[in-house]
Amino acid sequence: MPSTTDVSNSPRSAFDDGVRSVVPLLVGVVPFGLILGVAAGNAAMGVGLAWSTSVIIFGGAAQLVTIELSNGGAAAAVIVATALVVNARHLMYSAALAEPFRDFPTGWRYGLPYLMTDQAFAVSITRYATTSDPVYRRWFYFGAGMGLWIPWQVTTATGALAGALIPESWSLDFAIPLVFMVLIIPALDRKPGIAAAIVGGVVAVTARDVPYRLGLIIAALAGIAAGVIAERRYAR
Amino acid sequence: MTTDLLIVVLIGAGTYLTRLSFVAAFARSGVPGWMQAPLRYVAPAVLAAIVAPAVIAPIGAVDVTAANPRFLAGVIALLVAIRTKSVSWTIITGMAALWLLQALF
């Protein structure tokens, strides 16, 4: 089991730790927010409603799908179903966070999932491996969530108002996989973690053309299965 | 348009419920024992599944040659990530390598 390190109990410092943990991710999040904002600015549904998806949905890929399918005149049921399938990976994050969130008061337990994103999940589940204090844990997650939520609102609004600001040739979107790369490293200490990462990566590349980002779900499930099988084989 | 508003609200509600799902379902009973082992591997599996295509097939087709700057930059960044475990150093070297390779090829 992971060891528990000593951390400060102050909610403020836990919140700050959460914010700090997502700062490097903003290099990738900000250009994506601007791009989505530009799409919202040209959306058939109107800029106001298109931008409000940042608050109501708060998930870049699902927002982009909603705006694009709506532009193309897709049926309402198709738009809703597609966007929800794109967000289906949150089911896995929700399951992985269920145990740590059990120790939180009810209001936190129902409020924090709204802030769930790839990034907030990744930094929190990594930090939870070394900290068990529920007060620290919830404030850390809250900090990470808000550290992404506020820039997302600001950048999508900026993009909607000001158009494209950062040239695509700067390739700033590459920063997100770079950060995730670092977050994988602790799991590679054990063979089952290595198996999960390799199988997840290989299947994701193989299944990259499956529509609605379902390749990601298929790859994640394959990687999880590989981890479990390896764990049984090597008996921890 | 009201239909568009309804669509956005339905997706928002559905997304929230997806995020809440297991957090709420297991709040009392706890996560079932058989799920504990699989959940240990959600993070490495998902993260690798996001990273690998972005590095190996950034524009759709698998390309592990020098013509794909994101592959070379990704390999360099991975070595830095393993060695330093530092997010800052990984971003700095990864982005620098990418820009350099894009300028060269």
Answer yes or no: do B46 and A70 touch at CB < 8 A: no
- Reported ipTM: 0.88
Contact A187 B21 (CB under 8 A): no
Question: For residue A235, what pLDDT is reported?
Answer: 64
Of B22, B62, B88, the CB nearest to A205: B62
Q: What is the DSSP string of A152-175?
A: HHHHHHHHHHH---S-GGG-GGGH
Which residues from A are below 8 Å from B5, CB to CB?
Answer: 49
pLDDT in tens, A192-222: 999 999 999 999 999 999 887 788 889 999 9
Per-residue pLDDT for B13 more than 90? yes
Q: What is the reported pLDDT for A48?
A: 94
Give the pLDDT of residue A69: 85
**CB-side neighbour CA atoms (13 Å) of A214:** 8
Find residues 163-182 of chain A whose CB sits inside 8 Å of chain B. 169, 171-172, 174-182
Whether residues B42 and A116 touch (CB distance < 8 A) is answered with: no
Do A180 and B6 make contact, defined as CB atoms within 8 angstroms? no
Identify the pLDDT of residue A3. 42
Alpha-carbon gap: B95 to the closest alpha carbon of chain A (Å) = 7
Q: In whole angstroms, give the CA distance from residue B82 to residue B85.
A: 6
Nearest-by-CA chain A residue for B36: A96
Beta carbons of B95 and A53 less than 8 Å apart: no
Give residue-wise pLDDT tens across range A134-170: 999 999 999 999 999 999 999 999 999 986 666 777 8
pLDDT at A4 over 60: no
Closest-CA distance of chain B to residue A234, Å = 13
- A180 → closest Cβ in B9, B18, B50: B50
How is residue A130 annotated by DSSP?
T
What type of residue sits at position B74?
Answer: G
Q: Are B52 and A202 within 8 A, CB to CB? A: yes
Residue bearing the bigger pLDDT, B25 or A173: B25
C-alpha A126/C-alpha A119 separation (Å) is 11
Position of tokens 């940042």? A54
Task: Name the residue among B31, B34, B35, B37 with its Cα closest to residue A233.
Answer: B37
- Provide the pLDDT confidence category of residue A8 given band limits of 50, 70 and 90: low
B 21-60 residues with CB < 8 A to A: 21-27, 30-31, 35, 37-57, 60
Restricting to A residues 78-117, those with a Cβ less than 8 Å away from any Cβ of B are: 79-80, 83-84, 87-99, 101-102, 106, 109-110, 112-114, 116
pLDDT tens, A65-74? 899 888 888 8
Reduced to 3 states, what is the DSSP secondary structure of residue A188? Answer: helix
Residues of chain B found within 8 Å of residue A86, distances taken between Cβ atoms: none
